[in-house]
Structures are given as C-alpha cells and as structure tokens.
C-alpha cells in the first residue's frame, strides 16, 4: 500500500527531486544559508565556551558560583530559548544565531571545564619552572590535553546545532532548510523532505572527513 506512494517515494523519485533541487539552485541556496548559520553559531559557542570552560576549570570560586546556573541553562528546552529570543529581539538573524549559541554554550562549557580539571599538574609545574609564560603554556601544555574534549564538544555540538537551527528556521526565518522542510510538510512532499535530508547527511559526512578526521590525525600523531 505504501510502495510507490507519496508517503514512501522510491529512491529514483528522491534522486529526481534532489537533482531538480540542485539544478534550480533552491537546494544549494537553502543548505548554504543553514550552513552559514551553523558556522556562525558554532564558532561563537565554541570560542566563548572554551574560554569560559578553561576559566571555570581553573578557578574554584567562580566555578562554585556558576555551577548551578550552568545546570539550569543545560536543561532549559531549546524551544523556550528560541521563542524567547524571537519575542525579545524580533524575528531577525542575530536573534536566531543568539538562540543557537545559548543552546550550545553550556554544553561546551561543561565539557571543556571537565577537561581543564583533568589537566596534568606535573606538566603545569614543569612549565612554571621553565618560565613558559601564559601563551606557551596554553599552546603547548594545556591545549593538547584539551584536544580530545574539544573534539568531543565539536562533534556532539555539530549534531546538536543542526537540529536546533532547523527549529530556529522553522519558527522565524524565511529561508534555510528548516523553513523549506516546514513548507514540504504542509505540502506533504515526502520526496523533497528525504532529498533535503540526504543532502544534509552528505554535508555532515564531508565535514567529518575533510575537517575533523585530518585535525584528529594531526593532533594525535605523537601517539604510538
């Protein structure tokens, strides 16, 4: 009953829609818009999160003060922050990015904070003895130890941000994948939904293969 129907289109049908979407430029455009939001939201969340995470990991007093807030922000539903951002700041691009950042930030902070707490004190003492200074210590002693935590935050973060961005777009933007998916839902166009999903997964795989894997390989080349 479902075969060859609109509910479960054949791979050929999906491929056809995918191809038409690519040729018309619609699919690359909306995918590109979503990717831009992803890059913006992700970069801001990672930079801020790493900085705050390192500070909290090194400073017990600040950590004790912010610990509860962190748990609260970790557990506020994404939908709530998105709606509030739109209500308070209007249906604008910066509100959309801000909503993404607020959702991702606590995650990065917690991961990097745990990493900072696990830093090897012996190596830090060695760096102090040999007068490494702040910059050398950060680059050569602290950062390599945080690498697994940063990569963890990156991978789980990309997955989380994708999902949030689509909701952000669905609720308050007039372009991007989330907006398109909403449109297809109303038209009951399952083939298009699947075509966009395939494009989506392909991009994620490319990011993993072309950016994350080489980064891992370079950073971990010292391991036996």
Tokens of 132: 């490494």
Q: What angle do CA 193, 107, 110 make, to 5 degrees?
A: 165
Residue whose tokens read 């991702």: 104
Contact 37, 176 (CB under 8 A): yes
Chain centroid, CA 163 distance in Å? 9
Nearest distance in Å: CB 166, another protein: 38
Task: Provide the phi-psi class of 119: left if phi over 0, else alpha when psi is between -120 and 50, else beta.
Answer: beta
Is residue 159 near another protein by the rule CB under 8 A?
no
Residues 110-139 touching another protein, rule: CB under 8 A, are: 122-123, 125-126, 128-132, 136
**Binding flags for another protein, 183-222, as an x/- string (CB under 8 A):** ------------------------------------x--x
Is residue 12 near another protein by the rule CB under 8 A?
no
61 vs 224 by CB, closer to another protein: 224
Nearest distance in Å: CB 65, another protein: 23
Could you give the 3-state DSSP secondary structure of residue 92? coil
**Binding flags for another protein, 139-158, as an x/- string (CB under 8 A):** -xx--x--------------
CA distances from 70 to 35, 81, 188 (A): 27, 15, 40
67 vs 125 by CB, closer to another protein: 125
Which residues of this protein are in contact with another protein, per CB under 8 A?
A: 122-123, 125-126, 128-132, 136, 140-141, 144, 219, 222-224
């Amino acid at each position: 009953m479902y075969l060859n129907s609109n509910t479960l289109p054949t791979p050929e049908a999906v491929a056809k829609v995918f191809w038409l979407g690519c040729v018309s430029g619609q699919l690359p455009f909306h995918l590109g818009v979503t990717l831009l939001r992803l890059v913006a939201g992700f970069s801001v969340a990672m930079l801020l999160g790493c900085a705050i995470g390192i500070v909290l990991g090194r400073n017990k007093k600040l950590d004790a003060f912010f610990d509860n807030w962190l748990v609260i922000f970790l557990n506020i539903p994404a939908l709530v922050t998105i709606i509030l951002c739109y209500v308070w700041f209007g249906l604008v691009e910066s509100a959309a990015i801000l909503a993404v950042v607020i959702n991702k930030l606590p995650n990065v902070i917690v991961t990097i904070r745990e990493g900072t707490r696990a830093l090897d004190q012996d190596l830090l003492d060695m760096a102090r003895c040999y007068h490494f200074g702040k910059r050398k210590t950060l680059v050569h002693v602290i950062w390599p130890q945080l690498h697994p935590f940063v990569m963890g935050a990156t991978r789980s973060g990309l997955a989380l941000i994708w999902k949030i961005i689509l909701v952000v777009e669905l609720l308050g933007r007039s372009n991007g994948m989330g907006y398109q998916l909403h449109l297809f839902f109303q038209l009951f166009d399952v083939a298009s939904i699947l075509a966009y999903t395939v494009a989506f997964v392909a991009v994620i795989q490319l990011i993993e293969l072309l950016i994350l894997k080489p980064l891992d390989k370079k950073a971990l080349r010292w391991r036996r």
